[in-house]
Amino acid sequence: MMPDKVEKLCQRAQQAIAERDWEKAKQAYLMALGLRGDLPDVHYGLATVYFQLRELTSAAHHFREVTRLDPLRAAAFVNLGAVLNLLGQHDDSIAALRRGIQLDGQRVEAYYNLGLVYRRKGQLDLAITAYKEAIRLNPRMADAHLNLANLLLERGNARQAAAHYEDAIKLRPGWDKALDGLERAKSADGSSAVHPVVAEQMVRTAAQHPGSDIDRLIDPAAHGAFLSNLNHACAVVEETGKLLQSVVGDEIEPAIKELSTALLNAQGSRGELESCLGRFENALGRMKTANQALKQQAAKMGEMGENFPD
């Protein structure tokens, strides 16, 4: 059972989540952890908030803490797997997702995320199997139909791909990605037979977005230098983003936790509090520097987009 102070802080965090005030929720959970660091529910709540803030390294850390403190909680393994996939840690992601499935074989999101990971690893057959299982568990999962259709089309199974594109469109009418995919699948299959409702949506979408074929906009032969520079800029932005994540996860979070503990500890000395505050301010300064660098790189990419060659 949670102590009263911790429970009140968690209630404050949950109220902030309901209001979508993620920063307020994060501070409340961090204060709760300062009082009790062994409560899986607090780690789970904080991990969820970090995910909403796109602070993925910190989210992964706290989902891991949940799996350590409560090793039978399937949802924690599934969420950990999803975050690790976004961080590019694919093998660890697969292990976490498979453990979640072992604990609860009805977890649709576990199979869906497995499909995402296997796709990133280039293991298309395994990705197809995972998406099919997700659809078996939840036939109304439009994203699974779309991703499965994309893989089937890539595998040359245009007719099967078209069927899943149509399912995705029925579930999410007017979905551009599914409509475009269906058009490609029908072209590859050499068939023009489309579900009447889907056909109407395709006509309407084509009228709203004329000339949207990306192959007509970018020619690798003509724009090779530009694309090379753009690829380099993307890599720099990615590295700068990782640096920002590292500062937040390795410096800001521990500094906040230490400061929260010091503020809540009436026995602490003024000197100790000032020392904690100084470390927090230093970490905050490094975070601001990294954030500014990320903004500058993003602005450069924006300028490149505006100067796209004819």
Q: List the end-to-end C-alpha distance of the chain, in Å, as a whole number.
A: 65
- Domain residue spans of the chain: 4-210, 224-298
- The 10s digit of each residue's pLDDT in 132-158 is 999 999 999 999 999 999 999 999 999
CA angle 110, 113, 118 (to 5 degrees): 120
What CATH number does the domain located at 4-210 have? 1.25.40.10
The confidence score (pLDDT) of residue 210 equals: 44
Please write the tens of the pLDDT for every residue from 154-196: 999 999 999 999 999 999 999 999 999 999 999 987 655 555 5
Q: Give Cα separations from 270 to 189, 254, 265, 273, 275 (angstroms).
A: 75, 19, 11, 5, 9
Dihedral (Cα; 157, 160, 166, 167), 10-degree rounding: -130
